[in-house]
Amino acid sequence: MLRRVPPLEAAEAFIVAARAGNMRAAAEQLALSPSALSRRVQALENFVGATLFIRRHRGLTLTPEGKAYLAKIENAMDALAEAAFEIKADGETLKIAASHTLTSEWLLPRLPRLLSELGIPVEIVVGDPLPALREGYADIALCGGFTPPDGFDVRTLASCKAALVAAPDFSQDRKWTGLKLARPHLP
């Protein structure tokens, strides 16, 4: 039997790219590389037997076939996503507490992938994560730069090295016991 319905990943890639108007932006939304997103769109074009986008250096433009196809599948794909979301969510929301910095620099870039993998809604509580966790405002907390607190189940997500860097005048005027300061190499 011949496949009558295109792969959902390819249709989703097409819709996100059409809405974004740019392969790179669409790839970021789907947590894919631009080349992986492009391959998905090409697979869909092969499946339907038509070119759906005019690819330009500055972005994408839908072809007439692309506009017609988008109009026909966009609502159907949204309905599929909503139906799956309602069944999976079952009223659950994962509440994640994190500092402003961890939220903006670490969590938000990974949020599309997290949402697609979890399949449930996520609420982000921005601020001091441990009080939010202790007081029941969050289910999990992203914490960084300290020894893990007692009484919590801790999983390490990443390790990083950090250096304290000071201006030469500042570091010479004070005694920094046990700290290593990186001195700039100026010409």
Instruction: For residue range 32-42, list pLDDT tens digits in order.
Output: 888 999 999 99
Q: d(Cα 183, Cα 120) in Å, to the nearest integer? A: 48
Alpha-carbon span 146 to 159, nearest angstrom = 11
Residue 17: band (very low, low, confident or very high) from pLDDT cuts 50, 70, 90: very high
Range in 2-6, 86-90, 180-184 with the lowest mean pLDDT: 180-184
What is the C-alpha separation between 148 and 16, in angstroms, rounded?
A: 39
User: 111-158 pLDDT, tens per residue?
Assistant: 888 888 777 788 888 888 877 877 777 888 888 766 666 667 777 766
Q: What is the DSSP letter of 53?
A: E
- Which domains can be identified in the chain, with CATH numbers? 8-89 (1.10.10.10), 91-161 (3.40.190.10)
**Residue 185 tokens, joined:** 């190499």
**Which of the four pLDDT bands, split at 50, 70 and 90, describes residue 18?**
very high
Q: How far apart are CA 129 and CA 134, in angstroms?
A: 9
Q: What's the whole-model pTM score?
A: 0.50
- Which tens digits make up the pLDDT trace of 81-109? 777 666 655 557 888 888 888 888 888 88
Pick the range with the lowest mean pLDDT from 38-42, 161-165, 174-178.
174-178
Q: Does residue 63 carry a pLDDT above 70?
A: yes
Ordered DSSP codes for 45-83: HHHHTS--EEEETTEEEE-HHHHHHHHHHHHHHHHHHHH
Q: Average pLDDT in the 167-178 region?
A: 52
169 has a pLDDT exceeding 50: yes
